[in-house]
Amino acid sequence: MSLTQDACERIREAIVSGKLEFGERLSEEQIARALGMSKAPVRAAFMDLRDMGLVTVVPQAGTYVFAPSKQDVEEMSHFRAMLENKALNDALARDPEAVVQGLSAAIYQMEQAIASGEWALYSKADSAYHRVLLQLAGNRYLEKAYDLTATALEALRARLQSGEGNFWQRSFAEHIQMRDLIVKGKFDAAHAILQEHILIINRSLPEPDTNPYKRTKVQRRSDEECTALMQQYGPTSRRV
């Protein structure tokens, strides 16, 4: 793994997990010190993260963790629902048994994460569940299109799953329900569950800050805090 890839993966994990807050300003120099590398790979990592939709570069102001508007979330979730419903339809037409096996494996990972209380692992298992549909659809361009918004939506859902309320319980129940409907051959009902499962995020997120890139929104982390954060996301953290 190159230094740029390492930096990108660590920062991505910190954003998706919620340890880096929406709208938080990222210091290229500080992160480079925390990772023990020069600024060049961190700068390149910021560009990769921008392409994933996870950071926003504000001219003459800096680089910030993305802070999606209500419209952003609605457009991303409807785009995802369209792609996943197409993927589910194609995957079921090709090999419904493989779909059930793949979804069941991801559900098992979710159960293990729930039992251990490791919500970051639950989030990864949740993503793996949905990837099953894309991977079995037999159309590599569907997965490429999905990747345009997948990581940003993963970050949004991870914050809901780790917060108050019963979002993750409902999410987990819907995963099982959709798999069971497919087992019974009730494909139309499975599509309906998938649609609701994805679009519920539009009704669950709080209203966003109208000016998320204010310097006063998130206090600057100390070098020690930044180092401790980046060290949480080394190679051993990338399980599931």
* Highest-confidence segment of 16-30, 73-87, 198-212: 73-87
pTM over 0.85: no
pLDDT of residue 236 exceeding 50, the answer is no
Strand order through the sheet with 62-65: 25-26, 62-65, 55-58
What pLDDT is attached to residue 184? 97
What pLDDT is attached to residue 57? 85
pLDDT of residue 240 exceeding 50, the answer is no
Higher pLDDT, 158 or 208: 158
pLDDT digits (tens, 9 = 90+) for 172-185: 999 999 999 999 99
What pLDDT is attached to residue 74? 92
What pLDDT is attached to residue 163? 54
**C-alpha to C-alpha distance for 134 and 87, rounded to whole angstroms:** 5
Query: Between the CA of residue 230 and those of 17, 100, 104, 207, what are the distances in Å?
Result: 12, 37, 33, 29
Q: Which two tokens stand for residue 1?
A: 């793994």
pLDDT digits (tens, 9 = 90+) for 36-83: 999 999 999 999 999 988 999 888 888 999 988 889 999 999 999 999
- On whether the CB atoms of residues 190 and 88 are closer than 8 A, the answer is yes
What pLDDT is attached to residue 156? 84
Higher pLDDT, 113 or 231: 113
For residue 177, what is the enclosing H or E element?
Answer: helix 167-183
Higher pLDDT, 204 or 172: 172
pLDDT of residue 234 exceeding 80, the answer is no
What pLDDT is attached to residue 162? 59
Which residues are CB-neighbours of 69 under 8 A, at least 6 positions away? 208
Query: Between the CA of residue 53 and those of 47, 66, 68, 179, what are the distances in Å?
Result: 10, 7, 9, 30
Higher pLDDT, 56 or 213: 56
Domains, in order of start, for the chain: 3-67+209-237 (1.10.10.10), 70-204 (1.20.120.530)
pLDDT of residue 239 exceeding 60, the answer is no
From the number of C-beta atoms within 10 Å of its C-beta (0-12, 13-18, 19+), residue 2 rates as exposed
Task: Considering only the C-alpha atoms of the chain, give the largest distance between any 2 of them, rounded to a whole number of Å.
Answer: 57
From the number of C-beta atoms within 10 Å of its C-beta (0-12, 13-18, 19+), residue 19 rates as middle
What pLDDT is attached to residue 29? 92
The mean predicted confidence, pLDDT, of the chain is 87
**Among residues of the chain, what percentage have pLDDT more than 70?**
89
pLDDT digits (tens, 9 = 90+) for 88-97: 999 999 999 9
Residue 6 CB-half CA count within 13 A: 19
